[in-house]
Amino acid sequence: MSDYINELFPRFEPALKEVLIKEVTIKDFKAAELLLQTGQYFRSTVLVVKGRVKLYREGTDGNEFFMYDLQPGDACALSMICAAKQESSKVLGKAVEDSTVLMVPIELMDEFMKLYPSWYYFVMETYRARFEELLQVIDSIAFNGLDVRLGFYLKKQGEQLALKQLNLTHQEIANDLNSSREVISRLLKKMEQRGEIRLHRNYIQLLN
């Protein structure tokens, strides 16, 4: 655990690191396993230290709308807010791959905010980053068609993973964009014809 904290959160004060090492719980999740469920009450806030987690807004009809990713070193802003206010979760969190998270007990949140400036700034930066990502999602929905949203989605996935090769199925993309596999496949084919991507059997290669 100390290796995760020292590597991914180097700006935390030594005293804060010591408390985290002593108090937090480390938990592993398999790919496709749920970390957070809609309606769940939080006893801890979540820090991702390994793997990747996707956050979704779940509709009343059971559909899931993709919001943003969490990478190693990221915290779930919504779990921070809900944990601090003792409210139930409004989102669903799912491990995209085998992942490891640190569970920070909610009773420590207020203490950390008062005692450790690095935690305060970490929380503020987490809120800011997630808010900006949500604004981008809203903009892509409100002002762009699905073809533009798809291009934005693929670009963002590539940037977050620092990869030109995305191991995503057409169905996974359709789920994230609240569309159908047939529509996504057709749009991907058009992108390939324009020279923006290359479609392979098990992955998508980003060209531009």
* pLDDT tens-digit readout, 37-53: 888 887 888 999 999 99
CATH class (in words) of the domain with range 145-206:
mainly alpha
| Residue 83 pLDDT | 66
Q: In the predicted model, what is the mean pLDDT of residues 168-183?
A: 91
| Residue 104 pLDDT | 92
The CA-atom distances, in angstroms, between 79 and each of 7, 34, 67, 95 are: 22, 14, 14, 15
Question: Which of 51, 37, 16 lies closest to 121 in space, CA to CA?
Answer: 16
Average pLDDT score over the chain: 89
- The H-assigned helical ranges of the chain are 2-8, 14-23, 77-85, 109-115, 117-143, 146-161, 170-176, 181-193
The tokens for 114 are: 């008062």
More confident residue, 94 or 62: 94
Q: How confident is the model at residue 84 (pLDDT cuts 50, 70, 90)?
A: low
**Which residue is listed with tokens 């207020």?**
110
Q: In the predicted model, what is the mean pLDDT of residues 124-137?
A: 88
Q: Is the pLDDT of residue 62 over 80?
A: no
| Residue 181 pLDDT | 92
Read off the pTM: 0.76
Domain boundaries, the chain: 2-141, 145-206
Question: Which of 173, 176, 159, 160 lies closest to 74 in space, CA to CA?
Answer: 160
CATH class (in words) of the domain with range 2-141:
mainly beta
- The proportion of the chain whose per-residue pLDDT surpasses 70, expressed as a percent, equals 97
Question: Which of 34, 56, 103, 94 lies closest to 75 in space, CA to CA?
Answer: 103
Contacts of residue 180, Cβ cutoff 8 Å, sequence gap at least 6: 174
Residue 141 phi, psi dihedral angles, 5° rounding: -80, -45
